Structure 1
Amino acid sequence: MKLKNFQQEIHNTIIYKFKDLKSKYDSLDKTNISDFNKIRKLDGGILLQAPTGCGKTFIASQIVSTFNEIEKMIWFWFAPFSGLIEQTRQVFLKDSVSVPILDIHTDRTLENLKVGGIYFLTWQKVAVSNNEGRKARITGDDGLSIDELMESARMEDYKIGCIIDEAHHSIVSKKTEASKFFSEIVTPDYLLMMTATPNDKDIKTFSEQTGYELKNEKQRASVSREDGVKEGLLKRGVEMVRFLEKNPTDKDLIDMEKTALEECTLLHREIKSKLENLNVSIQPLMLVQVPNGKKESIEEVKNFLTDNLRFKESSVKVHTANEPDENFHLIAHDPKVEVLIFKMAVATGFDAPRAFTLAALRGIRNEQFGVQVVGRIMRIPKEMQFKKNLDDSLYYGYVFIANKEKDEGLLLAADLINRIKTQNASLGSQTVVTIYKGNPKAQVVENGDIIPLIPNEEMGNIFLTPESEQKEKLPKWKQIEPYIPNLTSGNLQNDEEHFQKPSPLTQVLVQEERYVYKIREGVPKVLKTEYMPDPGDNYQERILDFVDFTGKTDAARKKKIEITEEISDIFNKTDIAKLNKKGEIDFEALADKTTQLLLNFVTDRLFKRKLFEHYKKFCEKNGWEISNDEELCKELDLILISHKNLIKDAQRKSMIDKLELKEVYLNLEVVVHNSTVQKSTKNIYGVFPESLNSMELELAKKLDSEEVILWWHRNGQNSKGKEPAIGLNFTIFFMIRKTKR
């Protein structure tokens, strides 16, 4: 396969950089380890940034193949997961057949080394503390340890090349075994790091941990999304589909996960039909991202897909491992698989070119995760790359978000991808090799500097003159302390302690400083509040007597909820359409919510069963047909969630004859603060209490701005006053007096 134009440019630039690096290595004395390290760390690394699907792996495979003809190399390719390793091996076997593929288990001897050969490794194979990780680090019957292998290879004049795939993952995130192994053992002569999710903070951390300079723009090459689209590798865009309830009261009723799965399935089947009609031999793949967690939730999703949405059970596969292994790779490429359910943790790096749609069941909050999700559906399958005049909808990916409040990761990901602009690594470098007195020396070149012909460490010997020696013998003058008179002691001497410490009088004044605010006129000192005595043992039965379902049963007849489907292009930030749809009701979640709602008023968990019997009698009394108890429970939950004050009103009516009025007092005329506080126009003390949290302060300022408010008081502001007590499970935080009440 031939490199695309933008890929060829990136390839050529990196090869040029590596050739320039080779010329520096060749000019140095082999024993000058210090200068080798200086050049290696400052000029040896390149970061390749490109959206998923732009062919980073293919570019790297061609760089390895080309540079093997220039330098005596041995390569190490690192990736975070074994599944990614298998993907990469397949690329080399297909597109870089001249590169010998070495096995870390069988080829750890100098005899088995092949010039230009490459090892494919996960960090877990060499940079963890478990037994499996230690095997490759120990010399034994299997061969040399990987540490000794690298050292021996260098003694045989091999240069070490290192390619880190998914570079944002593990090695650059924190000080790990991987970064330690890289810094102390690998120390590559040629380093290529690749990522679809560039992060300047991580890059800085990596440079600080390892000494390899990647912060400089000269060390970076990047590919824009537009280049990938132009060359037919990437889809034109990604459309995000969100669901919003039309009626705010329906918010707690909708099963957004099932709705997202239904709508995603409809589009998946539409795409499948279009491909068949256009004679494009692709079985499109529908991806379903579930949260990391219980196996039961994954099985529930699978059952909904097979039972409700009629997918063949054999066409729905679940990958439950925490990383994309070889089996995952096979599933993603198996044309008999139509739906792939995977965990969030598996989103990194796997190829799924036939994926057009993705249902994100828990939303996408994280930018890095968002980039990985988008990357799964951005590729254009090879079968489509050479087709003309296909339907426009086939050139887009589609993400269905089940949680409309958790889509920011997708939007941030789009911004990050859009920020990546095509840029070749600079042809310049940060080091030069100069020869002075027959000795080659590596020197660092700062931006704008003139390269000195003589190494810096030699400069002092050249310019040391008798005159300068004489200057070194001049006496050193002691600095005289300034004269500061003490005007309080009567003794005009320096008194450093006096100026550094406050006087006893000042300390007393500070300790006694208080700010007193009086209560405003017109505020009553005595208030009246409702008081609820012990309601007695049978209060729950009394509540049932006052629960009236009349006029509230329309909610019980709901089977689907009206929703709006919003479609937008995440890269162009444009709204595409708003469609009217019907959403599924989440009866399981609804039952949990109504149970919690009832516990706000009654503590007996059996109360819901009693309420159910009460509703059943109401239905029978009205002559309504009752199908079964399960359906009746759903109806009751719909009524309770749609009329949340139903039980509260019944409780109040049941106890109205028991309510008592009691007097409470605001005893103190003043409130005292240790410092000045913000003035308030309607607080009874004229200030915003310093104890208010941010939400309370926001409410207090709103009260200040309302004309209908005469005064307000934050309960507890006057801590010595008797606090008003109110009925069951209820505490007053603010007391407010309105006009005309």
Structure 2
Amino acid sequence: MSESFDFNKPAIPLMEPEEFQRRIIGAMTQHLTHQPSPALLVAPTGAGKTFMLSQVLAKVCSERPTLWFWFTPYANLVGQTVLALDWIKELRLYAMSTERQRDHSNGDVLIANAQQVSSKSADRQVLKQVDDFSISVQGIVARARANKLKIGVVVDEAHIGLSSETEFGKFVKRLKPDSLVMATATPNDVKLNQFLAASGFGENKTFSVSRQEAVDALLNKEFIAAYVYRVSDEWKSLVDLQRTVLRQAWKKHCALKNLLVERGIQTVPLLLVQVGNGENTTREAFEFLTRECGVHPELIGEHTAQAPDPELMNTIAHDTSKEVLIFKEAAGTGFDAPRAFVLASTKPVTDKDYALQFVGRVMRVDQRVREITRTLEKQGKRLSDDLRTAYIYLANAAAQNGYQKAVTVLQGIKSSLEGETERLKRIKTRNGGPDIFTNRPTPQSSMLPEVDWDTTHGSKAETVANSTVDNAEAQSVGSNEVHPSAKIEAQAGRTTFVEEGQGLLFDGDIQPDWDDEETYVPPRLLKIPAKNRDDLRAAFNEIRLSLYPRNDGLPHFAPHLLTELRPSVVDLAKVVKRIAQRLEYSVADLNNALAAATGHTQAIEQRTELVTRQRAPDTKIVALIRREELHRQAKLVLLSTAQFEDADVRQFVQILTSRIQVDAESNGIAVMIDESERDRIYRDMAHDLVRMKADDVVALYHDAISQVVTSRETKSPLPDYMAFPSDLPLLPSAKNSYGVLPPRRNEDMPQVESFLVKEERQFLKHRQYHLRDESTIWVDGYNGTHAMYESENEFAKQLDEAEFVLWWHRNPDRADYGVAVVRPDSHLNFWPDFILCVRYYSEAEPTIRLADTKHDLKDAFKKSRREHKDYKKIIFLTKDNYNLYIVNDNGTKGAKVNSDLSVLRETLRRTDN
């Protein structure tokens, strides 16, 4: 296909068909003028499908006057088609939506997007007459037939244009065309058959062009090379593959430009940059290319319009003052860019149809390259394979799948006379180079120089430590009912509830949140004088509450337990310094951190010739690092300790930065650091070390926290009594601290409100009572944090039977008498389910230990990373398939616990250090 045109403008060439094109044009014309069945043109992208179709239409019109309807799959391809056909004198083009004429003549072509006529809403506008100056499509067809014209339909890009096969087919059927022409690069038999059936046609006649024919005619580049990138796991989240791909693609573009100059070919190559859809994607690519790759801004053309503009795209593609064209996916189809050798895609492309469109942008061959190639062939020479290759750089390895599929289809376009379809081959390279997908016959090295640029430029509730709520603040009565014979008196700082001269005293710092203390008194309870414990129990019994006394007769039992306190702000400052000073790293760690701090690290570039699947040797390249992501990850590591705040993070990084500077200077690393960026680089090195040493940082933090955590007796002793509705009697327990099994969560707790009214349930709160005999009594009610699931209930029964267990206690959350463990990984404390007093063997001293039952092993792992200051390591257990197991330190299921709990006993003994 010889051409003669101004290369600086997207002008329409005057073309003579290639031999294979002449064959196709003649065969299709002969078929359409003598046969009623549809004609399907199957040809690779860049083989001149539109050109061949236009010639066929013109020749059919010369033999049989015809009005043509031409449909494209995308709206932007309508304008592109107009540009491609406008120079053909035998054809006159009209936009179907706005330029319909009442009397069309032979050679007229009405062009529309297929979706316009397959959509019901558009159908009313395009198919029907909407005003006195327009005419419906059916009216056009009727007038054409009256004027002895045949009706022809062209469906371009049929592989993607038939997304609504049946709807579009029904529209075509209403046209009743005499000729149906389809063109595709990737025939989809299912869609084509559905469309043909809906449009009333049977089998079609296929006219095929092989890719090799397009290559031999110098219309297609011979090779396709795809580059993908491999990054080690430690760098995956930091490497900016999108910017890396842009830089590598620009380097390839520059190398090709130099090679063209060396060969005396006056072609200015074009780098196509496909970015994802988004508000700033085009601008970000532009800024990176100009700022970090040194591309002059005037060399870059951008398609930033929301709607694709094919004329703009073609103008930029043909403007040799531009060497880069940045466009979004939506604008990535339908424009010709014969100068394009390299396509950089910064977003995943997995759909083969879209991928094929993008491949087509770099598959065409520039006219000057064609001329030089022909000259060399006449001399028995061959143009460099580097200039016969389309290069595709992919920011996401998954995107290669779409291009692999696309090129597989491309290679599958064979004429019926040709042999086996070429298969694609992926070549894995050594030493961390890129995977290369290519059809170059041998993995020969490229003639292009690979320039290496320096681009340094829990099930139970948990709460915050130190946030223990005063008993009074936790009380809630919630009633305004007034007992008719009650009044309130203030006596020596205590609130006395008096009825008929007899009183039950509450501690003065207990302030129930009653709405009106002047008028409200608790009903019923005050009817009975509370002189002593017996009176108190009787008073509770009057409102159907049983009191279960604390079992002080248990061996080695004490009502006060030891709980942990979170470190103060001063102690946390010590923790920060301790970790920053003790974090260990090697010289190799410093070098890796320097690579991250200077904005790049090593990646593997894998190049594969897509057509032959031959793989070139891997190449190590410099991959760019996202510094903001480096900072974010380091901060997340430090903040994950829960105690650190922004000020602590800054202090930590400052201390570590000072250490790094000293070590860098003493190990000769400092000489590689730009003095003007020294402070920033050392700081970034600290961030990277924190990220890479996250486990060590956390371990050091846990150790440091253990050093500053303190313990003290619980704010209150274990209650003298635990209260629970008398109508829900609790089962006895030989070794429980209150002689009973706590209520069952699913069976007992839901019934509490059924047996007690709101005013009575207030006495299930933790509260101190002052009796007339001058004694004070603490009473709490069993609530949800005391209640046990069935698996916990079974474990409690085993504790009663185990000989080594002296007593056990159900540890409630957030209670003043509860045992808390400071969690370094959370602002919340942790309250283990069970407190056990055990004696491992007869001569051993009794000791108090902690145990917790967990369904979530991950939660158990997190909480097991600290021991209680006094009660040592917490033992976690989990139930699986009716059996109880010890949870290992790494969060996995460990040894099975037997019925006598001897496995638990030995686990407790081994961890009693």
In structure 2, the residue corresponding to 1:645 is in which secondary structure? helix
Find the aligned partners of 2:417 and 2:107 in 1 and give their Cα distance. Answer: 25
Match 1:572 to one of 609, 612, 615: 612
- Once the two structures are superposed, the pairs formed by residues 429-448 of structure 1 within 5 Å of their partners are none
Corresponding residue for residue 190 of structure 1: 179
**Structure 2 partner of 1:327:** 312
Q: After TM superposition, give the deviation of residue 659 of structure 1 in Å.
A: 12
Alignment of 1:185-264 (within 5 A): 185-213=174-202, 216=203, 219-245=205-231, 248-264=233-249
Looking at structure 2, the residues matched to 715 and 210 of structure 1 have their Cα atoms a distance apart, in angstroms, of 69
Of 592, 599, 606, 1:555 maps to: 592
The answer on whether the counterparts of 1:163 and 1:191 sit within 8 Å (CA) in structure 2 is: yes
TM-aligned CA distance change 1:397 to 1:628, over 3 Å: same
Write the letter of the residue equivalent to 1:296: N
Quote the offset at 1:385 in angstroms.
1.8
Q: Distance in 2 between matches of 1:101 and 1:392?
A: 40
CA distance, structure 2, for counterparts of residue 50 and residue 533 of structure 1: 77
Cα offset, 1:286, TM superposition = 0.1
* Cα deviation digits, residues 510-546 of structure 1 (max 9, x gap): xxxxxxxxxxxxxxxxxxxxxx988667686536532
Matched, 1:98 2:148: no
Equivalences for residues 324-723 of structure 1 within 5 A: 324-387=309-372, 388-389=375-376, 390-423=383-416, 541=573, 542=575, 545-547=578-580, 548-551=582-585, 552-558=589-595, 559=598, 560-598=600-638, 600-602=640-642, 606=646, 608-619=649-660, 627=677, 630-655=680-705, 718=880
CA contact (8 A) 1:362 1:403 kept: yes
Do the aligned partners of residues 242 and 71 (structure 1) sit closer, same or farther apart at CA in structure 2, a change above 3 Å counting? same
Shift of 1:322: 4.8
Matched, 1:51 2:44: yes
Structure 1 residues 610, 80: CA separation in 2 closer, same or farther (over 3 Å shift)?
farther
Q: Which runs of 5+ in 1 are unaligned?
A: 23-42, 426-531, 669-695, 697-713
Distance in structure 2 (CA, Å) of the matches to 1:82 and 1:406: 25
Letter in 1 for 2:246: L
Cα shift at 1:604: 5.7
Amino acid paired to 1:615: L
Shift in CA distance, 721/667, structure 1 to aligned 2, threshold 3 Å: farther
1:535/1:4 CA distance change after superposition, 3 Å = farther
Partner of 1:84: 77
**Secondary structure at 2:397 match in 1:** coil
Structure 1 residues 717 and 410: CA distance shift in structure 2, 3 A = farther
Could you tell me how far apart the structure 1 residues matched to 2:21 and 2:266 are?
Answer: 27
When residues 722 and 145 of structure 1 are mapped into structure 2, their CA distance, relative to the original with a 3 A threshold, is: same
Q: CA deviation at 1:281?
A: 2.7
Paired residue secondary structure (2:133): coil
Alpha-carbon contact 2:277-2:329 (below 8 Å) kept: yes
2:91 maps to amino acid: V
Unmatched 5+ stretches in structure 2: 1-14, 377-382, 419-562, 712-790, 796-857, 859-875, 897-909
Cα displacement (A) at 1:365: 2.2
In the other structure, the counterpart of 2:145 is 154
Query: Which secondary structure state, in structure 2, belongs to the residue aligned with residue 263 of structure 1?
Result: helix
Superposed displacement of residue 269, structure 1: 1.2
Alpha carbons of structure 1 residues 622 and 88: separation in structure 2 relative to 1, 3 Å: closer
Aligned partner of residue 229 in structure 2, secondary structure: strand
Larger-gyration structure (1/2): 2
* 1:561 shift after superposition: 1.5
Query: What is residue 172 of structure 1 aligned with on the other side?
Result: 162
Give distance in 1, aligned partners of 2:649 and 2:307: 40
Q: Separation in 2 of the partners of 1:206 and 1:659?
A: 78
Q: Distance in 1 between matches of 2:72 and 2:294?
A: 38
Partner Cα separation in structure 1 for residue 62 and residue 337 of structure 2: 33
Distance in 2, Cα, partners of 1:620 & 1:577: 38
- The change in CA–CA distance for 1:206 and 1:575 in structure 2 (over 3 A counts) is same
The alpha-carbon deviation at position 54 of structure 1 amounts to: 0.6
- Length-normalised TM-score, structure 1: 0.67
Aligned residues of 2:653 and 2:687 also touching (Cα < 8 A)? no
Cα distance change, pair 274–132 in 1 and its aligned pair in 2 (3 A): farther
Aligned in 2, Cα 1:313/1:136: closer, same or farther, shift over 3 Å?
farther
Over 3 Å counting, the alpha-carbon distance change for 1:603 and 1:332 in structure 2 is: farther
- In structure 2, C-alpha distance between the alignment counterparts of 1:723 and 1:138, rounded to whole Å: 79
SS at match of 1:249: coil
1:303 to 278, 284, 287: 287
* 1:1-36 deviation per Cα after TM superposition (whole angstroms, max 9, x unaligned): 2222222222233223212326xxxxxxxxxxxxxx
Would you say the 8 A contact 1:79–1:121 is kept in 2? Answer: yes
The offset of 1:316, in angstroms, is 1.0
For the Cα contact (< 8 Å) 1:667–1:720, is it kept in 2?
A: no
Alpha-carbon distance in structure 2 between the residues aligned to 1:366 and 1:628: 46
Q: 1:9 to 1:647 in 2, by over 3 A?
A: same
1:12 aligned residue: 26
CA 1:297–1:726 in structure 2 vs 1: closer, same or farther (change >3 Å)? Answer: farther
Query: 1:595 & 1:132 partners in 2: Cα distance?
Result: 57
For each residue in 1:263-297, what CA deviation from the matched residue of structure 2 results, as whole angstroms up to 9, or x when unmatched?
2111111211222333323221101111122x223
**Within 5 Å, which residues of 2 pair with 1:24-173?**
43=37, 45-94=38-87, 96-102=88-94, 104=96, 108-111=100-103, 113-123=104-114, 126=117, 128=119, 134=125, 137-169=128-160, 171-173=161-163
Query: Which string of whole-angstrom CA distances, capped at 9 and with x for unpartnered residues, describes residues 58-110 of structure 1?
Result: 1101110111122221001111345423333333333x322233454775344
AA aligned opposite 1:556: A
Distance in 2 between the 1:188 and 1:637 partners?
Answer: 69
Distance 1:533 1:69, change over 3 A: farther
What displacement does 1:590 show? 2.7
* Aligned position for 1:290: 275
Determine the C-alpha separation between the residues in 2 that align with 1:151 and 1:615: 84
| Cα deviation digits, residues 365-421 of structure 1 (max 9, x gap) | 222222122111111112222223333311111111222343211112221212221
Indicate how the Cα distance of structure 1 residues 411 and 545 shifts in structure 2: closer, same or farther if over 3 A, else same. Answer: same
Q: Deviation string for 1:632-691 (max 9, x for gaps)?
A: 44223321233232322223323456799xxx99979xxxxxxxxxxxxxxxxxxxxxxx
What's the CA shift string for 1:104-154, capped at 9, x where partnerless? 47753443x121221222346555566898267324243312232123323
Any idea what SS the aligned residue of 1:53 has?
coil
Conserved? CA contact 1:302–1:316, under 8 Å: yes
What SS does the corresponding residue of 2:41 show, helix, strand or coil?
Answer: strand
1:195 and 1:599 map into 2 onto residues whose CA distance is: 56
- Greater relative contact order structure (CA < 8 Å, 6+ sep): 1
Matched-pair contact (CA < 8 Å) for 2:564–2:710 = yes
| Count of residues in correspondence between the two structures | 553
Task: Sort the Cα spacing of 1:599 and 1:137 in 2 relative to 1 into closer, same or farther, 3 A.
Answer: farther
Cα distance in 2 for partners of 1:154, 1:350 equals: 35
